[in-house]
Amino acid sequence: MRLSTTTIFLFLVLATTHTTQAADIDIKKFGGAPNGDITQALVNAWKQACATTSASRILIPSGTYKMRGVDLKGPCKAPIEIKVDGTIQAPADPKQLNGAEQWVKIGYASHITISGQGIFDGQGANAWKQNDCNKNTKCERSAMNFGFYFLNHTIVRGITSKDSKNFHMNILSCNNFTLDGYKAIAPADSANTDGVHIGRSTNVKVINSKLATGDDCVSLGDANTHLVVQNVECGPGHGISVGSLGYYENEGPVVDFLVKNVTLKNTDNGVRIKSWPSTSIATTVTNMRFEDITMVNVANPIIIDQEYCPWNQCSKKAPSKVKISKVSFKNIKGTSSTKEGVVLICSKSIPCEGVELSEINLTFNGAPAIAVCSNVKPKIIGKAPACTAATNKVF
């Protein structure tokens, strides 16, 4: 019997769909139940999924669960999705995580997805009270909610990170990583709760997300390339920051960062590039594009600060050795809570190059905000405030 070409094609499609459908692994199989501790259940489910040769999906159904720290490692033999629809709570006491840097760690794997409407609640209130890093350079840091490291082709979609004890998420040495519909939520006075920190990674996208924290919504460390933040709401918090840079040995360059279609509300800064003065660390920052951004009551909406010295814990005697070039600020509008809507303080020894201001429409108390600049001559395109000399303003 002969089969038509169409019949054969449909058969192949159905066969392919069947063979690639993920097999579900419910944590109930390993004793994970609402109102209980699911630490070992999740670890065991991961071990099974990681060992299987076909795609699998770990299910954490609706309900409230307790969980201590987990470190889920690959390499794994096939794609894994962790679908979370429940609320998972970390220990409220930071010491119960035994000094772990992250509460949920996933590393050394490829094709990992975390999805669902679940909430990862770091219960960080006690940690924030104990945080004295503003006056103690040797302070003990509590665990972040998430640590993703050495991952390839990863998607985090729909989940919420709540009240992390430290950063909500650290993405380190990852490639092709997408955050889509991600939420990070913590009070405005929660210390060091960056929504997402990215370091030494490439092709990372933060899209369609809402970040309301006590620190940077998005922060970039060194050695990052090809990053995108798009369709994101930020606030409260400290805004979107490149850096701080120039502090640690062997820092790599930050290249190609796009921030587009973003709204910042009631943040301490808007879009910012910052580097430390008086260090011997030299690196480069280039091809930064900030465009189509709305500011609502934002202090320092546009800022380059190469005299970054938080809590006066450093010296400004020598200029920063970080080279900043090819930076454009385009179509940025809204309200500033400070008179200086644009602040460009560049290094005296290595002035910024290729900085452009295009269609900047920021107001302060109903009047146009001003621009103050040092060691930079920005190119003005269309409407934008002209630079005046910077004073010794501390940001």
Q: Mean pLDDT, 10 residues at a time, over the chain (395 residues)? A: 47 44 93 98 98 98 98 98 98 95 98 98 96 78 97 98 98 98 97 97 98 98 98 98 95 98 98 96 97 98 94 83 98 98 97 98 97 97 92 53
Q: Please, what sign has the CA dihedral across residues 234, 236, 237, 238?
A: positive
Q: Please, what sign has the CA dihedral across residues 139, 143, 145, 148?
A: positive
Beta bridge partners of 23: 56
Amino acid at 334: G
Residue whose C-alpha is closest to residue 44's, from 5, 79, 9, 72: 72
Based on the number of CB atoms within 10 Å of its own CB, is 289 exposed (0-12), middle (13-18) or buried (19 or more)?
Answer: middle
Residue whose C-alpha is closest to residue 191's, from 268, 244, 254: 268
For 140, the token pair is 């003990």
Residues 89, 58 contacting (CB under 8 angstroms)? no
Give the strand pairing for 353-364 and 367-368: antiparallel
Residues 206, 237 contacting (CB under 8 angstroms)? no
**At a CB cut-off of 8 Å and minimum separation 6, what does 395 contact?**
269, 300, 303, 305, 308, 343, 345
**pTM (2 decimals)?**
0.93
The single residue listed with the structure tokens 């010296």 is 315
Residues 372, 343 contacting (CB under 8 angstroms)? yes
Identified catalytic residue from 153, 197, 226, 238: 238
Instruction: Say how far residue 117 (Cα) sits from the centre of its chain.
Output: 19
Per-residue confidence (pLDDT) for residue 20, from 0 to 100: 53
18 in catalytic set: no
Per-residue confidence (pLDDT) for residue 132, from 0 to 100: 82
Amino acid at 223: A
Kindly state the DSSP code that residue 172 receives in the 8-state scheme: E
For the chain, counts of helices (H) and of strands (E) = 3, 29
Phi, psi of 286 (to 5 degrees): -150, 155
Kindly state the DSSP code that residue 308 receives in the 8-state scheme: -
**At a CB cut-off of 8 Å and minimum separation 6, what does 7 contact?**
none
**At a CB cut-off of 8 Å and minimum separation 6, what does 95 contact?**
none
Residue whose C-alpha is closest to residue 290's, from 273, 315, 268: 273
Cα distances from 29 to residues 118, 252, 305, 355, in angstroms, run 19, 45, 53, 57
- C-alpha to C-alpha distance for 16 and 149, rounded to whole angstroms: 31
Per-residue confidence (pLDDT) for residue 347, from 0 to 100: 97
Instruction: Say how far residue 18 (Cα) sits from the centre of its chain.
Output: 36
User: What ranges in the chain are assigned the alpha helix state H?
Assistant: 5-20, 39-51, 125-130
- C-alpha to C-alpha distance for 170 and 147, rounded to whole angstroms: 5
Residues 359, 383 contacting (CB under 8 angstroms)? yes
